[in-house]
Amino acid sequence: MAELFAAVEIISAKRDKGELTDPQIDWVIDAYTRGVVADEQMSALLMAILLNGMNGREISRWTDAMIRSGERMEWSAVKRTTVDKHSTGGVGDKITLPLAPLVAACGGAVPQLSGRGLGHTGGTLDKLESIPGWRASLSNEEMLKVLQDCGAVICAAGAGLAPADKKLYALRDVTATVEAIPLIASSIMSKKIAEGTSALILDVKTGNGAFMSDPLKARELAKVMVELGERAGVKTRALITAMDVPLGLTAGNALEVRESVEVLAGGGPADVVELTVLLAREMLDAGKITPLMDPADALKNGAAMDHWRRMISAQGGDPDATLPVAKEKTVVTAEVSGEIIEMNAMKVGVSAWRLGAGRSRQGEQVQAGAGIEIHVKPGEEIKAGQPLFTLHTDEPARFERALEALTGAVRISSTGEKVELLPLIIEKIEG
């Protein structure tokens, strides 16, 4: 079959700061998915996009072409309105775990296709896989059944969903083009639009522990993603939220599941509870769902916990099983007394990753019990010798590099210095 274009024409057009036409974009995504455009050619195009950008029309068409490379999910058999949330990731960000059953308890249906962690940010599927028996991979029929029966499903995206994105994602990772906003936005939104949800809330993290540490860049990404969602007919909103301090008191797989269950039991750290409730209200509002109850009440009265237990059981997990615990642990104590002024989320995330909670390349195994417990947060007092962190791993040889990563992670002051933190919710962006 004769090809419509030559890849080199498209690469040179973007290299020279030109706009790509709709037919060029449609062809290059399709041809790359079919294997006609080689990895080295697509690498060159991705770098040209990183350096020269794309306008709104180009990003929208690129996203649409990625959606059309695969199937679109369809939830018309579900009697409730479907709503979803996507987070750009951070340290201790376990919000999806309590949020999906919480929204289900309040009357929504949450088809949450999640990913695995890479680098210092944890993956939702890795966390849930620390629950004995729980399965991440479901067929479309199984997904639909869990969603109908439980009101929420959290699982891996099937191979049929935006296959162009799978290929591009792997290539971006090895060509230093991950940071390009058009490519981040189209990657996230192609999967979320193909997922077929009627409303979507984006949790865009900023601060030292976030993928987008610069608040201006985070805002730009949020705006682009909201526009993409709205153009595709999905009611989309973005909240820009703080990731300068780890979220909650744990970073690691089973540790974060345990904390999520505490939240569902009506307890848990205040910041995790606040963000979970806030996102639940936004999801219900964006989906125009009349809540069966307020999300804060659903955490207190056990309704969210009931939905969690049903959802975990429906995917083969045992909600009563003992969660894995790492074989070894070591405690980091405060060297001086005073108030915690700063806690660098990125350093905590890297330390948890080095303990075995995350992976350095795709396909690598993670340790279910590895990670960090945080005993004090900024604004709290600590005495010299009191525990700051407990580090967990199955391999004691990992402690040295994990402790190295925590160097300078915490600043303690006894001079009455003011704690300066980003507000939990920095900005809201609507379509």
Which residues have a catalytic role annotated?
A: 86, 165, 172, 187, 191
Residues 6+ apart with CB under 8 A from 21: none
Distance of alpha carbon 107 from alpha carbon 82, whole angstroms: 10
Can you tell me which residue has the tokens 């439980």?
Answer: 150
DSSP track, 169-238: HHHHHHTT-TT-HHHHHHHHHHHHHHTT-SEEEEEEEESTTSSS-SHHHHHHHHHHHHHHHHHTT-EEEE
Taking a C-beta distance cutoff of 8 angstroms, is the pair 299, 273 a contact? yes
Q: Which of 339, 326, 329, 396 is nearest to 367 (CA)?
A: 326
Can you tell me which residue has the tokens 């419509």?
Answer: 4
Distance of alpha carbon 203 from alpha carbon 193, whole angstroms: 16
Q: Helix, strand or coil for residue 424?
A: coil
Q: Which helix (H) or strand (E) holds 297?
A: helix 295-300
Distance of alpha carbon 99 from alpha carbon 84, whole angstroms: 10
Distance of alpha carbon 152 from alpha carbon 148, whole angstroms: 8
The Cβ of residue 44 has, within 10 Å, a number of other Cβ atoms equal to 19
